[in-house]
Amino acid sequence: MLASVATFALNGVDSREVTVEVDVRRGLPAFSLVGLPDASVREARERVRAALLNSGLEFPLQRITANLAPAWVRKAGPSFDLAIAVGLLAAGGQVPPESLSDTALCGELSLGGALRPVRGTLAAAMGARTAGYRRTIVPEANAAEAALVEGLEVLAVPTLTRLVDLLHGRWSPDPPPRVAWPPPEVQGGPDMADVRGQTDAKRALEIAAAGGHNLLMVGPPGAGKTMVARRLPGILPPPSFQEALEITRVHSVAGVGSGGLVSERPFRAPHHTVSAQGLVGGGSRPRPGEVTLAHRGVLFLDELAEFSRMALEALRQPMEDGHVEIVRGQSAVTFPARVMLVAACNPCPCAQPARDCSCGETDRRRYQRRLSGPLLDRMDMVCQVAPPPAAALVGAGPEHVERSSAIRARVMAARAVQLGRLEGTGVNCNADMDGRLSRLHAVVDSGSASRLVGSVESGALSGRGHDRVLRLARTIADLDGRAAVSRPDVDEALGYRIVTPSRAAA
């Protein structure tokens, strides 16, 4: 007897349909698996045999051949277990084959017959819907994730025994709960109100969040750079449902999510020893890197100067294009990577506060040169972070300190203005405006213009830096709710400009 069952294999953050064909016929008892399975897929034979027998089902002592089609694509991972087991049941007449029409399944089996969760269920469910399947059978732990896909019936099954009951029509699971959108406000994350002092850094973060600008924070260790940066997701606008789906899909593929819809923007802070592959993704079977895990959220690079040159160079394409393309001998995959980059570093190699610094100008220059290059070129703002004075740390502090929610409200208002202004241009925040759009939307008065011209002429500002100051000034005006960019906006924006060290020499 022959049976075929549909399942989905992961390819980057997308999925590819795989048909599992199982043939059972008389012959010497054997179980062979073909169609380029890797070691983890081949092991499915042992799990399937034990799971069937332990569930009180029959494992045919006949010649069994399972084929994973298309046969030229390499298959990896344990998510084919369920489809192979069900194919075997259908081929042996233990479940009615017609009950499998229009159904895609995926799941890992335990030896006892329970269904274990797998990575990438959301991607698989999206693939199933696109391919025209009406229902999908998934392990219980993955049900919430699969249920995010509209127009697809999700059947959450705990064990193989239950699955047989389901296919015979003797049992049906409760439909998985629908997610509430928008999600209820979650209180209790790190809040800006907990930060003492640091008015300057807070302001810089607010501007960065409002316009989607990349930010470099410079300060001695212990000044609070990391603490402030960790509060950035709390002031960013919450993701839209579409963005939340994107985030969930990436996290599900990487196996880092909790299983449900991710309604907060991610914050990733890889250690500075991360390799280029770790940062942008890679491996012989490409896995998403940190920049992809931070998709639609914040990538925080602490101790920027300590990152390897290779790793930072590799960030170029994702910073420019918003995605990473990884080509390996077998395949090419694309991972999404639209992030807001926040980096922190010490002002000089000795990492002491300015008063105790013992670094010579040459040491500083050399250190700053390590930072320079492609990444500094993508930074829109730089701000210095100093440790707050003791008086600000001790005691209850001033009674009125803004909470993250208040800042977030301003940021969202500014973003709404930008969305309205940039409608139809394919750009959705000030930071992504090109030179033409910046000049169109950030018109400055003559006083500001002459100051900008002066800065460019004296070499303090490059042509690219000039556009960057315009974008920043636009965001500052948006935050303030003003339609026109005024002189103080330009002055403030100039105060955040970043100068590549070669231009700042002597």
Cβ-based nearer residue to other proteins, 263 or 368: 368
Per the rule left: phi > 0, alpha: psi between -120 and 50, beta: everything else, 496 is alpha
The CA distance from 269 to 249, in Å, is: 20
Distance (Å, rounded) from C-alpha 412 to C-alpha 211?
10
Q: Find the binding residues for other proteins in span 478-497 (CB under 8 A).
A: 488, 491-492, 494-496
- Smaller CB separation from other proteins, 152 or 218: 218
Sketch the per residue contact string, 413 through 452, with other proteins: x for CB under 8 A, - otherwise.
Answer: --------------------------------------x-
- Applying CB under 8 A, which of residues 95, 118, 382, 477 lies at the interface with other proteins? 382
Q: Residues with Cβ < 8 Å from 129, sequence gap 6 or more?
A: 149, 150, 151, 152
Nearer to other proteins, 403 or 451 (CB): 451
From CA 136, how far away is CA 134, in angstroms rounded? 7
- Which of 150, 174, 361, 399: binder of other proteins (CB under 8 A)? 361
- Which SS3 state, helix, strand or coil, does residue 136 take? strand
- Minimum CB separation of residue 340 from other proteins in Å reads 19
Pick one of 416, 449, 484, 504: the residue that binds other proteins (CB under 8 A).
504
CA dist 274 and 408 (Å) reads 31
| Residue 79, CB-side half-sphere exposure with 13 Å CA sphere | 29
From the number of C-beta atoms within 10 Å of its C-beta (0-12, 13-18, 19+), residue 495 rates as middle
Q: How far is the CB of 131 from other proteins (least distance, A)?
A: 53
Q: Which of 349, 374, 388, 435 binds other proteins (CB under 8 A)?
A: 388
CA distance 9 to 2: 22
For residue 201, the number of C-alpha atoms closer than 13 Å in the C-beta half-sphere is 27
User: 209 vs 280, which CB is nearer to other proteins?
Assistant: 209
Q: Does 386 sit near other proteins (CB under 8 A)? A: yes
> Under a CB-based contact definition with an 8 Å cutoff, are residues 94 and 58 in contact?
yes
Element (H, E) at 67: strand 63-69
373 binds other proteins (CB under 8 A): no
Rule CB under 8 A: say whether 465 interacts with other proteins.
Answer: no
Q: Which residue's CB is nearer to other proteins, number 12 or number 197?
A: 197
Write out the binding residues for other proteins, residues 11-40 only, by CB under 8 A: none
Q: Binding string, 186-225, against other proteins, x = CB under 8 A?
A: -----------xxxxxxxx-----------x-x-------
Closer of 183 and 387 to other proteins (Cβ): 387
DSSP β-ladder status, 103-105 and 135-139? parallel
Indicate which single residue of 283, 454, 464, 484 sits in contact with other proteins (rule: CB under 8 A).
Answer: 454
Local structure of 253: helix, strand or coil: helix
Question: How many residues at the interface with other proteins, by CB under 8 A?
Answer: 41
Under the rule (CB under 8 A), what is the footprint of other proteins?
A: 197-204, 216, 218, 345, 347, 354-355, 360-362, 368, 382-384, 386, 388-389, 451, 454, 476, 488, 491-492, 494-496, 498-501, 503-506
